[in-house]
Chains A and B, each alone.
Chain A
């Protein structure tokens, strides 16, 4: 595991990851596998011989690239868990391939690129059609991506 990542700081000054004991991980939770933030999609334990100690086998999917990673480690060991944040923004514009996003508090950021994914295309299409959208942005280990959209609720 890449130790350096622990000390890279995110936006709020918190570390990008924190350690926890392997046994406390849960399915649907997050873990750093091979230096990448992953969602745990499978977890099982095994032991070597009847009187051996437990080992945890994890399968995770990279939350940004959807690549699959696996790892096995003694359940007493510590593993890193990424600090994962999801923030909702209102989409207020798209300029030069960048999204203009506004928080509830009215702050605007324009540093998130419109990805060339199906979701990206849909965002563009809906924006062009004049729909008001809320975009959820996933943030972990200094990476960000839009992961879901929803029409803005009418007040």
Chain B
């Protein structure tokens, strides 16, 4: 391009722009690519400033102007160290003047030029060569001009500065470190940002005083309002936040206003908030502007942190704010479009100001505020519900298709439901009786409606003539009543023991004197009868009666299925019932008195340990589960909720003890073991969970004889059936028969379910049981080598067993599992190597196999860092191994496994992102945990691993690249320790030094990788100092430009020029990493110039 004159360059760019702007049909793909290439290479040209200026002054093509601005921006950053300070200054002035003099520039060109200005200012703030203040001076001049077009421009300048400084992650990619962006932002937010805010507030004040605004004025007003919103939404970066945290911090969505102390005078001035209340009143009819003004108020409502010198200041601020807010709200009729904004103002106030501050405001003001809050919550809530109905309609069967990916209401509305539940507990006196009467009423009506439908069927068989709308409305009501009741009565805890909420317990205790326990139990125990038909029904415990109301819903459902009305039922309601009962069971069933200060007599009498009530309800729940599993097998979600309830019933011993006493449980176990319909038609995930529940129940505390009998009913048939099949003489001939295949698949599924049931106290038994199967499974792998579905499932069994059990296994047990896994992999590899498949989904299936194998190996490797076998003697008496003295480590096993499967990993398969990530995670793990094993690997495996690392570093995603770089450091350290200069690993690390060197110095570098690359680089430099010097020499000697040569030489000198040779010492390493960042800022990207 050097040969071309400026005019020629412009002509070339303009014709390329024409191609790019042409409609797709007018130009070929090649032409388009060529045109793109012209721009890309132009943007990389060296010192393009003169020609860009020339373009900006002469070209009439907007796109070319845009590209010229981009080119300037990129070149300034790239060549920063080569440029004279005053030429940067004049470039900035040129760009600003350019924009000022051309009010009619296209918006996107103008914004791009201003972005270039902002980037220059930002890059300059690092070496203090450019001072922001001069810009603000210019801008305030522009604002005071009174000319709307000029004021708009001033706003654009401020906006560009603001966005460029606002974030370290979403900033223009100018190849600088996160720390750099972070420290720029900190400097900016202390001073310059406040100046912007002050300027903005002045403008808004001016506008809010004016009476009649022209359309043009009002648009300027709007822009400044938006700017104010941006300032108030600034995510103030706290001091001393590390790189990773900066990224995390800045990704947070709802930014609350937490300014630094220096903002105190500016923001705590009550005139500021008054201004925004005034502004909102003025512009609230314009819904676009109103959104910004309310957002400003919401931000002001969220203010917190060290800006407040003391609590008094906080109380004053809050009181003033609430006064302003109430004045604003009380004077107006709220528009629909304001509802969201006003709600977030209120919500921010409540969540950011501590309760003690809120109650410290004048009491009259406080109660007006609470009244206003209540009023708005109710009226907004009502409007929102009405809107839901009018836009979506009350859902009926004939309406929209709902796909499985849509969340259930209980998750989608969990926040709202949790609040409703909380409110319900606070006013339990009112809410529990209300829920009882609504639920009982709807259930009675549902019962009646179903009966009417049935009679109609009987009198005139054929298609139903009754309107389903009545039913759907009832289902919808019951659906929400169940969800609200569930959230009110119990919490969804994870990992903790769920307790009866104290409000509920107190409510029950408070009313206990009025309660007749026997009637209460009678209401509970007769779900088939109307509650009001039981004498004395009003003297019952309401918490129990609420549960009884749910059981009544459940009973209506069960009876309808027995009357063949399943078609008319709502599977959604069925799910809700199961969900409720599971939640209830966790909290209330076998209520443990030790966990509470005080306990309600009705609750402990009805559901306590050793009560008839508890045994009765377990029996009732089991009957319901049985009924669901035969009626609803085709409704996967409902079946799943049903087996989840089952797991809840048996996962705690105390409950399992009751379960195993029920005849229906034994029937379920027998029925499942016989693999007959309907249970064998359940979806496979449901069957696994069912198996899990059956196994868990086997660990209930029962006498040995019963236990023995139980296992005979549950686990032994599985084993027996399996052995019967595989031990047939002609198994090999009949293995492809459908019944045989189904038998095998059912067994494998069951094994996954058994593995899922593993707990620390049953692993000894389950491992022994499963191990027999695993060995047989390897035989199956051979038999079914041409049947991918089966192969895949067999591997999955191993994955599950390893996942659930490896951490508990002592040495000899772990060895057994390792051996089994390795044999499996050998068989798999033998049968897959050299096979060419052309059947449909072949590639997809191979990918799934390998993904599972990677998972299996990762699970095995996890033994190295999660191991409970030494501390928990779960195999006491069974194992005589000496802990901590393992002869074979998981790493050996895994490396051996990698060796087996590596030949199967084609580069095509690595294109599946999840497989690629899993693979690299595994090898990085190995390198990090056992670097010393790597040099001992067989040559072929070693080579493949090194090649994998190189490939991952250079041609995969940045995530993979990062993993590979992380693997290099421990490898190089191992080498340094071993001091064997001629090992293969030593040679490999030399090669990696060159790769990392090129990556950092010669290629466009991804700033996210600097840390990982830097660590690896430093260790490699220590290891290969001579080679490193050589690399530097070669690079320098190839530079023809003396200026660049000198810059580079200086930079390298600063980086590694110290007299002491680098060593693997932590302090030195840290110092190096720090200098590397300066190095990257100064010369990074300098050399990838064309």
Q: B338 within 8 Å of A by Cβ?
A: no
Q: Are A117 and B838 within 8 A (Cβ)?
A: yes
For residue B1016, CB closer than 8 A to chain A, the reply is no
CB interface residues, A 105-119, toward B, < 8 Å: 105, 117-119
Q: A127: CB under 8 A from chain B?
A: no
Interface size class of A (residues with CB under 8 A): 35 or more
A154 to B637, CA, bound (A): 50
A20 to B395, alpha carbons, bound, how many Å? 32
Q: Which residues on the B side are within 8 Å of A153 (C-beta)?
A: 830
Asked whether any CB of chain A lies closer than 8 Å to the CB of B772, the reply is no
Any A CB within 8 A of the CB of B84: no
B633 cross-chain contacts in A, Cβ below 8 A: 21, 23-24
Residue in contact with A148 in the complex, picked from B401, B570, B837, B841, CB distance below 8 Å: B837
Known: A24-B682, A48-B398. A150 touches B834 (CB 8 A): yes
B836 touches A63 (CB 8 A): no
Question: A138 CA to B682 CA in the complex, in Å?
Answer: 28
Rounded to whole Å, the gap between the CB of A49 and the closest CB of chain B is: 4
Closest CB in chain A relative to B689 CB, distance in Å = 15
A34 at the interface (CB under 8 A from B): no
Asked if B636 CB lies within 8 Å of chain A CBs, one says: yes
Chain B residues within an 8 Å CB radius of A76: 634
Contact A119:B830 (CB < 8 A) given known A54-B634, A87-B736:
no
> Does B347 sit within 8 A of A, measured CB to CB?
no
In the complex, whether B738 has a CB less than 8 A from a CB of chain A is yes
What CA separation (Å) do A45 and B923 show in the bound complex?
38
Assess whether B786 is interfacial by the CB under 8 Å rule.
yes
With A28-B789, A44-B403, A76-B634 as known contacts, state yes or no: A85 contacts B736, CB within 8 Å: yes
Interface: A12 (CB within 8 A)? yes
The interface residues of chain A lying within 8 Å CB-to-CB of B789 are: 28-29
Check A24 against B681 for contact (C-beta < 8 Å).
yes
Interface residue B737 (Cβ < 8 Å from any Cβ of A): yes
Asked whether, in the complex, the Cβ of A21 is within 8 Å of the Cβ of B634, the reply is yes
Residues of A within 8 A of B634 (CB): 21-23, 53-54, 74-76
Q: Mark A85-125, 1 if CB is under 8 A from B, else 0.
A: 11110000000000000001100000000000111001000
Contact with A along B817-845 (1 / 0, CB 8 A): 00000000000001100111111111011
Inter-chain CA distance A29–B738, complex, in Å, is 12
Given A46-B401, A48-B401, A86:B396 Cβ within 8 A: no
Chain A proximity of B85: nearest CB distance (Å): 62
Q: Given contacts A49-B400, A83-B738, A149-B836, is CB(A28)–CB(B845) below 8 Å?
A: yes
Closest to B677 in A: A21
List chain B residues, Cβ under 8 A from A88.
Answer: 786
For residues 24 through 43 of chain A, which have their beta carbon under 8 Å from a beta carbon of chain B? 24, 26, 28-29, 39, 41
Q: Is B786 within 8 A of A18, CB to CB?
A: no
* Inter-subunit contact A39/B838 (CB<8 Å): no
Chain A contacts of B409 at CB under 8 A? 50
Interface check B211, CB cutoff 8 A: no
- Which residues of chain B (204-248) have a CB below 8 Å from chain A? none
Bound Cα distance from A119 to B842, whole angstroms: 13
B683 lies within 8 A of A12 (CB): no
Q: Within 8 Å CB of B401, what residues of A?
A: 46-48
Q: Which residues B719-769 have CB closer than 8 A to chain A?
A: 732-733, 736-738
Chain A residues with Cβ under 8 A from B571's Cβ?
Answer: 47, 51-54
Q: In this assembly, does A14 line the interface, its C-beta being within 8 Å of a C-beta of chain B?
A: yes
What does the 1/0 interface line of B361-374 toward A look like (CB < 8 Å)?
Answer: 00000000000000
How far, in angstroms, from A148 to B788 measured CA to CA in the complex? Answer: 12
In chain A, what residue has the closest Cβ to B471?
A51
Q: Give A136 to B836 CA distance when docked, in angstroms.
A: 10
In the assembly, what is the distance between CA of A21 and CA of B838, in Å? 30
User: Knowing A26-B684, A51-B472, A52-B397 touch, does A45 contact B837 (C-beta < 8 A)?
Assistant: no
| Contact between chains at B398 and A61 (CB < 8 Å) | no
A155 at the interface (CB under 8 A from B): no
**CB of B794 within 8 A of chain A?**
no
Evaluate contact between B635 and A50: CB separation under 8 angstroms: no
Query: B944 → chain A, closest Cβ, in Å?
Result: 22
Contact B841 A45 (CB under 8 A): no
Residues of A within 8 A of B835 (CB): 148-150
**Which among B567, B571, B573, B792 has the highest number of chain A CB atoms within 10 Å?**
B571
Q: Which of B375-418 contact A (CB under 8 A)?
A: 395-405, 409
Residues of A within 8 A of B655 (CB): none
Please, which residues of chain B bring their CB within 8 A of the CB of A149?
Answer: 835-836
What is the bound-complex CA distance between A62 and B840, given in angstroms? Answer: 8
Q: Known contacts A14-B737, A153-B830: does B479 contact A50 (CB below 8 Å)?
A: yes
* Residues in chain A near residue B402, CB distance under 8 A: 46-50, 52
Q: Which of B683, B788, B839, B844 is packed against the most chain A CB atoms within 10 Å?
A: B839
In the complex, what distance in Å separates the CA atom of A39 from the CA atom of B841? 8
Residue of A48, A117, A136 near B397 (CB, 8 A) is: A48
Q: Are A39 and B395 in contact (CB under 8 A)?
A: no
Q: Do A24 and B683 touch across chains, with their CB atoms under 8 A apart?
A: yes
Instruction: Knowing A46-B403, A49-B395, say if A20 contacts B681 (CB, 8 Å).
Output: yes
* Contacts from B to A (Cβ < 8 Å): 395-405, 409, 471-472, 475-476, 479, 567, 570-573, 633-637, 680-684, 732-733, 736-738, 786-789, 792, 830-831, 834-842, 844-845
15 A-B residue pairings within 8 Å (CB atoms):
A14-B738, A21-B633, A23-B681, A39-B841, A41-B840, A51-B570, A54-B636, A61-B840, A61-B841, A75-B634, A83-B738, A86-B787, A119-B836, A148-B838, A150-B835
Query: Would you list the 5 A-B pairs with minimal beta carbon distance, nearest first?
Result: A51-B570, A75-B634, A147-B839, A23-B634, A85-B736
10 new A-B contacts at CB < 8 Å, known A23-B636, A50-B402: A23-B682, A26-B684, A29-B789, A41-B841, A48-B397, A49-B397, A50-B476, A51-B397, A148-B836, A148-B842
